[in-house]
Structure 1
C-alpha cells in the first residue's frame, strides 16, 4: 500500500460516516442507511463513490442545499408504475427507499418501475439492483448527474456520466452485477488520477478548448468527459445514446432537471440559470423472474452462463475472463481483511469534518 494511503477498518469507517450524517440532522436509521450505501462502494473497490464523496454531502447538508429529513411523496401512480418526489433529500436515503417501493410493487404485480425527481447524488448505481437480487428478482437502477460529458461530436458539457446498473441472481455462483457509467470513464476516476499526479489515457477527456487531453487537471478546469466509445471509430455515438436514454428515463420522465440543467453535486458550483424540473432524477426497476420462467431453472442457467463466460480462452498474455461483479468481489474479500485504503487528501477532508461535527475520526 503506497504511503499516501491509510488503512481504516470498514466497521470503523461505517460508524464514522453514520455519526457524521447524524450530526447533520439526518435521522439515526437514515444516517446508517446513507453510510451503508457509501460503504458498499469503499468495500467493493469503487473508490470514486465512497468515503471520497462524504465531504461533498457534508458541505451540501451544512449549507442547507440538501434536506436531511425528507418526506417522500407519491406524485403519480398507476399499478406497477409510480413517480416519487424525493423532497430534496439525500440520494443515499431516497434511492434505497424508492428501490424498496419498486420491490414491493414487484411482489404484487410481477414488476415495479419507479421514477424519482427532486433528489440528489445516490452513490454507486450497483447498490440498488442488489436489493432486488436479495428477493430473487432482477434489478435495475439508473440516475442522471451533473453535466460533465460532451455529446458525441460536441465539445461542451451537456450530459452527466449517467450510470446504469443491473443485477441478476444465480444459484451456486455469485450474482452478476453490471454497473457502469455511460461516459468513457466516471468523473471520480479522473479525480483519483489527479490526486495521484498521474496522466490519463487519451480518449477519456477533452480540455476546455475541446481538444483531447491526457492531463486530468485540464479536464477538471473547464473540460469535459467523453461518452462511452469516445470517437467515431470507437462508436462514441452509442455511449451518447445510452446517456440520453438514462437522462430521459431518470429526469425527463420523472420531472427532474435533465441534461445541462441538472443540479450540481458540488458546494462551489453555481446552480444552472434555468431549472426545467426538480433536482436530479433516478429510475428503478425490478422484475419477478417467476413471471418469465421457473426461478430455479433460471438460476441454474445463470450458473451455466457464468461458468461458460469464465472459461472463455483468454487473449495471449492477457488475464483470465471475468464476469461482471468479479473485480468488486475480489476487492471486498481483500478489504474485509486489510481495511479500506483512504488517500491522504481524503483523510485530511475527514479530519476537517471530524473537527466540525465533533465526531472522532477512526
Structure 2
C-alpha cells in the first residue's frame, strides 16, 4: 500500500482554485468546485475530494462543462422552483439550488428545487450541510451515469445515486448523512487502485457479474445492502425518480459516462433535486432543538455491542473527528493525484501545495 502525503488545507484550497481558473472556469464556478472538493477532503470523503481536480479540468477543456454558465432560476407553483444550470459544474449548480430552496423555505416553510442541465457535483453532503448551518433541514439527490447493477442483475443500471441530508443541531455540528445507494462509490474504486488496496467483499462484480475484491477487475458496483441489496436498488430508484422524470433529464442508462475516454465534449445534462425545510414552520425552535440535542446524546450514550470495534455514532460524527485530525495533521493526497498536480503546476505555472 502506498501511503499518501499530507498537505496543508489552505495551500490545497489555493491550488485547486488557481488551477480551475487557469483551466477555464469563471470565479463562481472555481470557488464552488473548490469549496465542495475541500469539504470532501477535510471530512475524509477522499473519493470525491481533491483527487477529482484533473477530471474537472479535462471536462472544462473538452467543453463538457460550461465554465461560464448563465444559471437561470424559474419560480414554479407554491414553494417550488426550477434551476437551469446551463451545463455548469455540478458544485455551482447544487449550491445555487440549495440556496434557492432555503430562500423559499424562509417564507414558505419548505422549498423544493429541481436541477436541470447539471454535471458531476462531488460529495452530495456539502449542500445539505450548508443548509443545516443556516438552520434548515436540507436534502439533495442527483442521478449519474449507470455504474450499479440491480439486485440479482449483472449490468450497470442505476448511477451511484447519492442521498444526502443535513439537520441543524443547536450548539453542535449538524446531523449529516451522505450515502451512495451503491455499496461504495465508483470514485472509491479508482482511489483504491491508486493506493493499491483490495476492495471490501460484496461491493463490486467483474465483467461476468462475479463478486471481486480486485479494484482492477471491478466493472460494475453492487447496490448497498449485500444480501438485502434490493433495498439499495429501490433507494436508487427513488433518486432516479427525483432526478430524471421530475426534471425532464435523462435516465442513468442514457447519460454521457463520467469517464468516457476521451470526453466527446457533449454536456452530461444531469438532473438533481434540492429540498429545504424550515423547522420553525412546524414546531417552536426551542422544542426542535431540545429534541435534536437529546436524540444525539442518546445515540452517543448507547451501549456498544459485544465485540464492536467502536461505539455508536450519529451520522456525521466520524466526519467531524476526521476533520479535526486533518486540521492538525494535513489533508492526505494519494500518489496518482500528486503526480497529476505536478503536471498541472507545470502546465499552468502554478505553485504546488505545501506539505503539512
For residue 270 of structure 1, report the CA deviation from its aligned partner.
6.7
1:351 corresponds to which of 342, 348, 351: 342
Q: Name the structure 2 match of 1:254.
A: 247
What are the equivalent positions in structure 2 for 1:156-305 lying under 5 Å apart?
A: 156-219=155-218, 223-230=219-226, 234-268=227-261, 279-305=269-295
> Which consecutive unaligned segments of at least 5 residues does structure 1 have?
none
The answer on 1:124 being equivalent to 2:123 is yes
Q: Is the 8 A contact 2:15 2:352 kept in 1?
A: yes
For residue 25 of structure 1, report the CA deviation from its aligned partner.
2.5
The answer on 1:330 being equivalent to 2:321 is yes
Q: Name the structure 2 match of 1:152.
A: 151
For residue 261 of structure 1, report the CA deviation from its aligned partner.
0.9
What are the equivalent positions in structure 2 for 1:132-143 lying under 5 Å apart?
A: 132-143=131-142
Q: Is the 8 A contact 2:195 2:334 kept in 1?
A: no
Q: Distance in 2 between matches of 1:278 and 1:85?
A: 13
- Partner of 1:218, secondary structure, is coil
Q: Name the structure 2 match of 1:77.
A: 76
Q: Distance in 2 between matches of 1:203 and 1:25?
A: 40
Q: Which moved more, 1:96-105 or 1:76-85?
A: 76-85
Q: Distance in 2 between matches of 1:17 and 1:267?
A: 23
Q: Is the 8 A contact 2:2 2:196 kept in 1?
A: no
Q: Distance in 2 between matches of 1:256 and 1:304?
A: 41
For residue 73 of structure 1, report the CA deviation from its aligned partner.
2.2
For residue 267 of structure 1, report the CA deviation from its aligned partner.
4.8
Q: Distance in 2 between matches of 1:317 and 1:269?
A: 48
Q: Distance in 2 between matches of 1:24 and 1:108?
A: 39
Instruction: For residues 124-143 of structure 1, give each alpha carbon's deviation from its aligned partner in whole angstroms, at most 9, with x where no partner exists.
Output: 11111112112211110111
- Partner of 1:41, secondary structure, is helix
Q: Name the structure 2 match of 1:113.
A: 112
Q: Which moved more, 1:237-246 or 1:30-39?
A: 30-39
Q: Distance in 1 between matches of 2:7 and 2:334?
A: 11
For residue 3 of structure 1, report the CA deviation from its aligned partner.
6.1
| Root mean square deviation, CA, Å | 1.9
The answer on 1:97 being equivalent to 2:96 is yes
- Partner of 1:212, secondary structure, is coil
Q: Distance in 2 between matches of 1:140 and 1:337?
A: 30
Instruction: For residues 61-104 of structure 1, give each alpha carbon's deviation from its aligned partner in whole angstroms, at most 9, with x where no partner exists.
Output: 01111100111123562221122221111001111111111111
Q: Name the structure 2 match of 1:312.
A: 302
Q: Distance in 1 between matches of 2:312 and 2:320?
A: 15
> Which consecutive unaligned segments of at least 5 residues does structure 2 have?
none
Q: Distance in 1 between matches of 2:283 and 2:92?
A: 33
Displaced runs of 4 or more, over 3 A = none
